Structure 1
Amino acid sequence: MADARKRIWVTRASPGAEATAARLTALGLQPVVAPLLQVRPIADARLDLTDVCAIAFTSANGVRAFAERAPERGFKVFAVGAATAEAARKARFSTVLSTDGDVAALARALASRRRELTGVILHPGAAEPAGDLAGELEAQGLAVRAVALYETVEAPLPEGFVEALPGFAAALLHSPKAARVLKDLLKAHPTPSLKVFGLSKAVIRPLQRTELAERAAAPEPNEPALLALLQRRLAASDAA
């Protein structure tokens, strides 16, 4: 029988959800993958590579969306976080530079290399991005072309899943949009015993007024920090 103290709801979209689940399993936890969102390509998106000197990715989904549409791999890539950088390397981009933190940190990293960025920085991403990288780059005086290549839409949950939520130790959130979907779900189906941990303060913010046993944000916007937070809070609950 599953130990409710170890059951963790992985809410992120595939294929990232499966990577998160593998990390949770390695920690001795019991992940249950049930995405709140699913990724869908934008069929009529126009990808213009004119004068592009570099590509800025803020998610592995952005990398995959670009790689599925364009064969070019010679551009220098700038990525937020290790996971996004690894996705770019797997997509066979030869030059990949990454930075920890958020889109503001990425914008500062790009600005520090402005002398070598003599064209347009392409930013392929979501229709509703979690952060405003284009605005951050423009504020740094850099030329940027943002293009939405995919969108995230609400995903149906398995039958009976909502009723089983009291049997979970916690849920993990990776985006503000997923948090908004969860907020609406919990408004219709209150689960005050649920603990929710988010990738950042921005991710967890939509749930400020939702009745929960606990809500907290990772100290750094990356999954290792999120999982470390989860482990600390679960350990504290066990000790109590």
Structure 2
Amino acid sequence: MAQGAPVWITRARPGAEATAARVVALGFTPILDPLLEVAPLDVAIDLSGVAALAFTSANGAQAFARLTQERDLPVFTVGHATARAATEAGFARVSSADGDVEDLARLIAGAVTGPVLWAGAREPAGDLVALLRERGVEAQGVAVYETLDRAPSDQTLARLNAPLTALVHSPRAARRLAAILRERPAPALRVLCLSEAVAAPLRALNEPGPVACAPRPDESSLLALLTA
């Protein structure tokens, strides 16, 4: 990609702003127009008997932190970005699986002996609770936020007529983008996805244009594709 080329950031805020800053640092021009938005849920948090917390997204860590003052329990996260969000929220004991949900389940199963509480989206991309229970770990989940679809601007849609790169971080955003491309094909669009699971809805299109996946499910690996 040429320096200064436009990069469409489809993930929800507030993570979108951090991604935009990294895109600028790489010499590209971010188009900050998310396909999703995050809405926190007002729920009661019961930590009775809980031995550890698990987060599979930065949004989950941030939303959970707004609902309780508890910061002493050990925290297990799926990757670096989620671990950073948990640390910034005040949790002192944070361990990252540096991978996907299955990696996180393995990490927790090998480190925790008591009940685990997962906090995340109303419709999560992966079922950590089920994976933990399969490994004999007592686990429960609580939805602390929901993700809603968001329509991109007309200006962004007009850019689909020219070469453009889109960053896609989640299966939900990929499904949203796939729905848009069914109505408005964009053969010049290059799509960079966080993982194969994210790419699946886009690969299902007849002509989605070039779709590439990060070698590891973390944003640094995803952004490295911009200069590949």
Q: TM-score, normalised by structure 2?
A: 0.95
Identity over aligned pairs, percent: 47
> Displacement, 1:135?
1.1
> Displacement, 1:169?
2.7
Q: Establish whether residue 188 from structure 1 lines up as the match of residue 183 from structure 2.
A: yes
Aligned 8 A contact 1:13 1:35 in 2 = yes
* Aligned partner (choices 62, 65, 69) of residue 63 of structure 2: 65
Amino acid at match of 2:21: A
Q: Establish whether residue 18 from structure 1 lines up as the match of residue 14 from structure 2.
A: no
Amino acid at match of 1:80: V
Equivalent residue number for residue 128 of structure 1: 123
Q: Establish whether residue 198 from structure 1 lines up as the match of residue 193 from structure 2.
A: yes
Equivalent residue number for residue 31 of structure 2: 32
Aligned 8 A contact 1:62 1:124 in 2 = yes
Post-superposition Cα deviations, 1:125-150, rounded to whole Å, max 9, x if no partner, equal 00111111111111110011111111
* Aligned partner (choices 209, 215, 222) of residue 219 of structure 1: 215
Alignment of 1:58-207 (within 5 A): 58-114=56-112, 117-118=113-114, 120-207=115-202
Aligned 8 A contact 1:4 1:167 in 2 = no
Equivalent residue number for residue 48 of structure 1: 46
Distance 2:169 2:155 in 1: 23
Post-superposition Cα deviations, 1:59-80, rounded to whole Å, max 9, x if no partner, equal 1000111011111111111111
> Displacement, 1:168?
4.3
> Displacement, 1:194?
0.5
Equivalent residue number for residue 225 of structure 2: 229
SS at match of 2:84: helix
| Two-structure CA RMSD over aligned residues (Å) | 1.5
Post-superposition Cα deviations, 1:115-134, rounded to whole Å, max 9, x if no partner, equal xx32x201000011111111
SS at match of 2:72: coil
Moved over 3 A (4+): none
> Displacement, 1:34?
0.5
> Displacement, 1:99?
1.6
Gaps (5+ residues) in structure 2? none
Distance 1:166 1:20 in 2: 24
> Displacement, 1:213?
2.6
> Displacement, 1:46?
3.5
Say how many residue pairs are matched.
226
Relative distance call for 1:17 and 1:168 in structure 2 (3 A) is farther
SS at match of 1:160: helix
Aligned 8 A contact 2:3 2:28 in 1 = no
Amino acid at match of 2:208: L
SS at match of 1:52: coil
Equivalent residue number for residue 235 of structure 1: none
SS at match of 1:128: coil
Distance 2:164 2:83 in 1: 31
SS at match of 2:126: coil
